[in-house]
Structure 1
Amino acid sequence: MFFHLSLSDIADILLVAFIFYQVYKLVKGTVAINIFAGIFTFYVAWLLVKALNMELMSDILGQFIGMGVIALLIVFQQEVRRFLLLIGSKYNLQNIFNFERLFSKPSIKDEVAEAIVRACDYFAKTKTGALIVLSQNSELFNYAQTGVLLRSIVTEELLENIFFKNSPLHDGAVIIADNKILAARCILPVSDNNNIPGSLGLRHRAAIGMSAATDAHIVVVSEETGNITFVKDGHFKVRITPQELNSFLHNDFTGFVVNK
């Protein structure tokens, strides 16, 4: 044996691998992946000149490497922010001392799910654009504050009125939390992932960006095609039926074939 691995070493390796995997998920498909590849190439070149004992080049590159942490924070400030949001909201750390909310599985009432399904079916038939965010463990109040707070009962008629094209609240997202409409006309973070098909518009990009930054589930109805899309964990399934939507709202994802 040339080396000895302890339990702490294994835990250390797994933790670093987890962090790198999460960082890769954040930058995959974005312009930041090219920057990340450039920095990695620069670091490999520094290791190579050190191994070849090229002292002058090693010192020059070493000066840049020494400022690497600051440079990374500047270059990847948006990705760092998204990573911290992912750790804080996606893994429900804000409720770590709220044991009732921490260990309870969020569920949607049957009447609320039925109202959403009927409204989305109507939106699909009339080609009315809609963007509905369903809070899970995170309350999403910071996103709700970007819109108009309602705190109202979820009904099919209210959803249809909100997303009516001449309504002052239709341009934005509706956030549903604790089986109530928390807010409407909310602004969501838009994904800059280059792998998103061009056939998906700004509503879909906002839904994918929101699901990547939080644990929320999002329903999108396309204004152009009338297709219903369900989004969770940064992944999405397009052209779902009202029956599939009802299953997804009740956390039954057996038919959720991921599109990336």
Structure 2
Amino acid sequence: MPKWGELIDLSPVAALVNIVDVLLVWFVFYQLIKVIKGTKAVQLLKGIFVIILVSVLTDVFGLDTIGFLMGEVLQWGFLAIIIIFQPELRRALEQLGRGRIFARTNVQENEERERLMTALTKSVSYMAKRRIGALISIEKETGLSEYIETGIPLHADITSELLINIFIPNTPLHDGAVILQKKQIAAAGCYLPLSESSFISKELGTRHRAAIGLSEVTDAITVIVSEETGAVSITAAGDLDRNLSMEEFETRLRKVWFGSEPEQVEHSIWKWGKKNG
């Protein structure tokens, strides 16, 4: 920053340097946020933000006592952070030395995606072969809290074994939908809205109609395993893809869950008619 009385350099080169400087700072902050996302450091940042906000308010309203306390907290807080988060800071420095500090998040995300895909694929394959009916909905951007509240809360890690056990016939939770939220099984035995479309084939049961109904009002993905035939289907963005092989199922699920938007080659009405014809 120029000192008082100094002229500000307004040349194009200086402007470009300043723009690059700001962009680099924002890039570093963005990557750091990605690194700490999903860790306990996020809660720490929230606490620091609250303390800074309180400090600003004490200055505005002239609250000297609270301002003094906040000043002490800020003064000694950084030392406390270094002590409390010493293991995390050490790992970050080690990764920085290996040149992997910013790549770590992408690696972890890819590993988590593969774990989730493996769990879903394994459980669906098992249930399809044994004709165990299943209805699994995956929350995306639109919240599914109102439907989660209709079921039994679980908040468990997503594993193929747990998904299979939930849908075993005559067990307490097998009737209804399982909803996956933020890499967890949020609830089981949930009720989904039934579609009232007159274009849905009469041969489709309640599970398919509920899956289509949810896709009509949210951006959720729903996986259906037919109890009668063992056929595997996926609904997303109002479209129903039926009778998928396991290879087709995995490809389609990966695309609508982690990839781009579903292809809108044909409207779902025509797809139902052609596949039922």
TM-score range, shorter chain: 0.5 to 0.7
Mapping 1:1-260, distance limit 5 Å: 109-251=113-255, 252=259, 253=262, 258=268, 259-260=271-272
Structure 1 Cα separation of the partners of residues 249 and 155 of structure 2: 23
Note if contact 2:234-2:253 (Cα within 8 Å) is conserved in structure 1.
no
Amino-acid identity (%): 39
| Deviation sequence 1:88-113 (CA, Å, 0-9, x none) | xxxxxxxxxxxxxxxxxx99721111
Root-mean-square deviation over aligned CA pairs: 2.1
The TM-score, its normalising length taken from structure 2, stands at 0.53
Q: Secondary structure at the match of 2:194?
A: coil
Give the whole-Å Cα distance in 2 for the aligned partners of 1:234 and 1:168.
30
- The structure richer in helix per residue is 2
User: 1:49-83: CA deviations, max 9, x gaps?
Assistant: xxxxxxxxxxxxxxxxxxxxxxxxxxxxxxxxxxx
The CA deviation at 1:254 is: 6.1
Taking a change above 3 Å as real, the CA distance of residues 109 and 116 of structure 1, as seen in their structure-2 partners, is same
Matched-pair contact (CA < 8 Å) for 1:244–1:255: no
Q: Which one-letter code corresponds to 2:124 in the other structure?
A: C
Cα contact 1:237–1:256 (8 A) shared by 2: no
Specify the code of the residue in structure 1 equivalent to 2:214.
Answer: M
* Contact 1:162-1:169 within 8 A present in 2 as well: yes
Q: Which amino acid aligns with 1:144?
A: I
- 3-state DSSP class of the match of 1:247? helix
Deviations 1:192-213 (A, max 9, x none): 1111011110100000000001
Paired residues of 1:229 and 1:240 also in contact (CA < 8 A):
yes
5+ long unaligned stretches in structure 1: 1-105
Residues 255, 192 of structure 1: alpha-carbon distance in 2 compared, 3 angstrom cutoff: closer
Shift of 1:255: 10
CA offset digits 1:177-222 (Å, max 9, x no partner): 1111011000000011111011110100000000001010110000
Structure with bigger gyration radius = 2
